Structure formats: structure tokens, C-alpha cells
């Protein structure tokens, strides 16, 4: 008999904003936005995140900061303090790492734990409640946890449990849990895919399940086949702490949209140096470089290049890193004549 797995997904609630509330208790209970300077509505960056009070005004991550200002000018707007959030993140991850032998960090505030050793879902639920309490006692941060037979179900359950919640979906409840959800609630399905699925008659997962695998494959290729499995709650991927991939990144929004090569490349040079500095500090090896470019009108594109496919490949030096990143940036400038609003550089490391 296949081994029964129990997987837990934990994600901190409104992470950057909750750290700021903790550091500044006078802001608690008020709408708070972390991100670019709103400059009384003329600011040009984006929202990193906001607390749930600010979400009541419709403010969301990645929204232009000017729109956040328009929706709630009385909110408290704070700049992003990456150093602090990274320190807090490391402390939370160490609590999680101590709690279970298999822990996989997937972003600054989320991780999977394989808690199959607990054997049953009731024990897993108690374990998760204790973990939430511990994080709150030690770091004063609220979190949400989803529990399921695999990473996919655990992640969706966590999303559904937010904020400050805990949700268990046992194997026999999978269909009932998934079917009423909108297709966008499956990780990996964004607005574009959802639009195409809608044309094919699938708005909910229940309806997505009516589309045969071959048809999904025809429309979406390999990804269609994986979508077919996901709609049925199937996900065999393992919680892996063998290779903790982290992502380091920086971006810059220009004061004015620009095509001035000097402005663009000197900003990019400084971003590349900052990212390289962080890489050095962490002792990481570069795996993939991604350059982000946002044009006038908020049209955003990314281009990526994988440099090292294995840990045994020789380390990348700064010159190679800078050259390869610049090549990606140059492709944007050549391919698209529009003025540029923002550039960014992200690196996956191992
Ligand atoms: P999330 O976990 O996606 O968001 P969150 O923790 O703020 O809110 P919740 O999980 O309760 O929905 O991301 C974690 C942090 O990553 C977030 O606090 C800020 C940062 N972030 C950005 O800077 N830009 C983004 O577009 C997103 C989505 C997150
Ligand atoms: Mg979060």
C-alpha cells in the first residue's frame, strides 16, 4: 500500500505589514500599506503588501501605489525594510525547521512540512495549532496553515484558511473541497489561463473536470495534463529540504517612463551590484537570472536565463552575471519600443 502522506503548508498573514505593526504597535488596527513612496498620489512604485484593514479598501500586492493612495489616503504608508523582514523570516523558518525533519521553504513567508510521521489528521491538526501558537508567542506574527495529503491540497487549504486560520482537508474530502472552487484558485492558473478555460466551458474546478485530458493537452500542452491531475487533487511532488531554492531580487521604478539608455543601464548596474552583494553575503550560487521590465501602461514582461543547472557547475563570477543580465535587458529594449517604467532583476540561487 502506498504510504499515506500528511503535508502542511504554512504562510504568514500580511507578512511585511504584520512585522511593521509589531515594531510600531501604535499602527495596529489601522490600514497599513508597505511599498513605494505614495508621494501624495503621484508615487510610481507598487504595493508590496498591506494589512487586512487596508485590504477592505481593495488594496492588494502589486497594485500601483498611486491607486492604493486613491483608495485609502488615510492609510499608513511605510517603505519596504527587506533587512528586517529577512531576519524575521529566518527566525520563523528556524522554528519550522525544528518542528519537523522535512521542511521546504518556498518563499520569504511560506513553507511546506511533511508531517506524515504523525500518522493521523487529528494529530496533525493539533500539531499545526501548536505551531501557530509558537510562532505567535515567539515572533508575534499571525499565520495560516493548510493540511492535506499533498502539497497542492495543503496550499489551497492554507489560502482558504486565511487570515489566522487552520484548515484540514483529508483525502476523502478532496472532491468536495475542490469542485466548488474557481479554476484560478488552483496554483499556476492565472487570469490568462482562466480566460481560455472559461471559453472551453470551465469556470469552476467541477467543470474543469469535465474536460478530457487529451483536450486540455491539446490546448495547453504538457501543462494541460498537469492541470487535469491538479483538478483531481493529484500531486506527487515531495517536500524536499535537499535543495532550498531562494530568490533574491531588486527593482527600480523610474521617476518618469524612459528610453534613455544611460538612465536605464546605470540604474540596472546599481541593481545588479546590490543583488550580487546580497548573493555574496548569503554564500549562494546563481542558478537562474530573471529580468523584469515594465513598460508604460503597466505592461510587464520577464525574461530568464539559467546559468548553472547543477550544484557542481563552476560558480558564476560577477562579470558573467552582469553580462548575462544586461543581455536580457537589452532584448527588452530591442523588442519593444515603449518607454520603460520599471526594471528589476531576480536571481534564483541554490
Ligand atoms: P504573500 O504571502 O503572498 O502575502 P502576505 O503575507 O502579505 O499576505 P497573505 O499571505 O496573508 O495573503 O507574500 C509574502 C510577502 O512577500 C508580503 O508580505 C510582501 C511580499 N510581496 C511583495 O513584495 N510583492 C508581491 O507582489 C507579493 C505577492 C508579496
Ligand atoms: Mg503570506
pLDDT value for 315: 66
Backbone angles phi, psi at 174, to 5 degrees: -55, -50
Distance from the alpha carbon of residue 241 to the mean position of ligand 2, in angstroms: 20
For ligand 1, atom 29, the nearest C-alpha belongs to 48
**Which grid coordinates belong to 241?**
529540504
**Which grid coordinates belong to 81?**
525594510
Q: Say if CB 345 and CB 289 are below 8 A apart.
A: yes
pLDDT value for 338: 94
Q: Of all helices (H) and strands (E), which one includes residue 289?
A: strand 286-295
Concatenating the DSSP letter of every residue in 180-195 gives TSBGGGSTT--HHHHH
pTM, two decimal places? 0.77
Residue among 16, 20, 21, 49 whose CB has most ligand 1 atoms within 8 A, to mutate: 49
Distance from the alpha carbon of residue 49 to the mean position of ligand 1, in angstroms: 5
**Which grid coordinates belong to 191?**
487570469
**Which grid coordinates belong to 64?**
500601483
Ligand 1 neighbourhood includes 65 CB (under 6 angstroms): no
DSSP 32: E
Distances in Å between the Cα of 178 and the Cα atoms of 175, 187, 232 are: 5, 12, 8
Backbone angles phi, psi at 179, to 5 degrees: -55, -40
Give tens-digit pLDDT for 124-140. Answer: 999 999 999 999 999 99
For ligand 1, atom 15, the nearest C-alpha belongs to 15
pLDDT value for 285: 73
Distance CA 250, CA 347 (A): 9
Residue 113: closest CA among 145, 161, 157, 139 = 145
pLDDT value for 330: 94
Distance CA 265, CA 243 (A): 33
Name the closest ligand to CA 292.
1
Q: Which residues of the chain have pLDDT under 50?
A: 1, 242-245, 311-312
- Indicate the pairing of strand 300-306 with strand 166-168: unpaired
pLDDT value for 166: 98
pLDDT value for 247: 67
**Which grid coordinates belong to 315?**
560558480
Ligand 1 neighbourhood includes 345 CB (under 6 angstroms): no
pLDDT value for 240: 81
Name the closest ligand to CA 108.
1
Give tens-digit pLDDT for 204-217. Answer: 999 999 999 999 99
Distance from the alpha carbon of residue 17 to the mean position of ligand 2, in angstroms: 10
pLDDT value for 301: 87
pLDDT value for 59: 98
* Residues recognised as catalytic: 110
For ligand 1, atom 8, the nearest C-alpha belongs to 14
Residue among 18, 61, 105 whose CB has most ligand 1 atoms within 8 A, to mutate: 61
**Which grid coordinates belong to 14?**
500580511
Ligand 1 neighbourhood includes 15 CB (under 6 angstroms): yes
Amino acid at each position: 500500500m502506498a504510504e499515506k502522506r500528511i503535508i502542511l503548508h504554512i504562510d504568514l498573514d500580511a507578512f511585511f505589514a504584520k512585522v511593521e505593526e509589531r515594531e510600531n504597535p501604535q499602527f495596529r488596527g489601522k490600514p497599513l500599506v508597505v511599498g513605494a513612496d505614495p508621494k501624495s498620489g503621484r508615487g510610481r512604485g507598487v504595493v508590496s503588501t498591506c494589512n487586512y484593514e487596508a485590504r477592505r479598501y481593495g488594496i492588494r500586492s502589486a497594485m500601483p501605489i498611486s491607486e492604493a493612495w486613491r483608495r485609502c489616503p488615510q492609510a499608513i504608508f511605510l517603505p519596504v525594510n527587506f533587512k528586517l523582514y529577512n531576519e524575521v523570516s529566518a527566525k520563523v523558518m528556524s522554528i519550522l525547521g525544528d518542528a519537523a525533519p522535512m521542511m521546504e521553504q518556498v518563499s520569504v513567508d511560506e513553507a511546506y512540512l511533511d508531517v506524515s510521521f504523525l500518522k493521523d489528521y487529528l494529530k496533525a491538526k493539533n500539531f499545526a495549532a501548536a505551531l501557530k501558537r509558537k510562532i505567535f508567542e515567539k515572533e508575534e506574527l499571525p499565520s495560516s496553515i493548510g493540511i492535506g495529503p499533498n502539497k497542492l491540497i495543503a496550499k489551497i487549504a492554507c489560502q482558504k484558511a486565511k487570515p489566522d486560520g487552520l484548515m484540514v482537508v483529508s483525502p476523502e474530502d478532496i472532491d468536495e473541497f475542490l469542485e466548488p472552487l474557481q479554476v484560478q484558485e488552483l496554483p499556476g492558473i492565472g487570469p490568462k489561463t482562466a480566460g481560455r478555460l472559461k471559453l472551453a466551458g470551465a469556470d469552476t474546478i467541477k467543470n474543469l473536470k469535465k474536460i478530457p485530458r487529451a483536450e486540455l493537452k491539446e490546448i495547453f500542452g504538457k501543462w494541460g495534463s498537469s492541470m487535469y491531475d491538479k483538478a483531481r487533487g493529484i500531486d506527487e511532488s515531495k517536500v524536499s529540504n535537499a535543495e532550498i531554492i531562494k530568490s533574491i531580487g531588486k527593482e527600480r521604478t523610474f521617476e518618469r517612463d524612459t528610453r534613455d539608455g544611460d538612465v536605464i543601464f546605470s540604474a540596472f548596474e546599481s541593481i545588479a551590484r546590490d543583488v550580487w552583494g546580497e548573493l555574496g553575503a548569503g554564500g549562494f550560487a546563481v542558478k537562474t537570472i530573471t529580468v523584469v521590465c515594465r513598460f508604460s501602461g503597466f505592461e510587464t514582461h520577464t525574461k530568464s536565463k539559467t546559468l548553472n543547472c547543477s550544484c557542481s557547475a563552476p560558480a558564476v563570477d560577477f562579470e558573467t552575471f552582469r553580462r548575462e543580465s544586461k543581455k536580457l535587458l537589452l532584448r527588452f529594449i530591442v523588442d519593444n519600443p515603449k518607454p520603460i517604467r520599471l526594471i528589476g532583476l531576480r536571481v534564483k540561487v541554490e
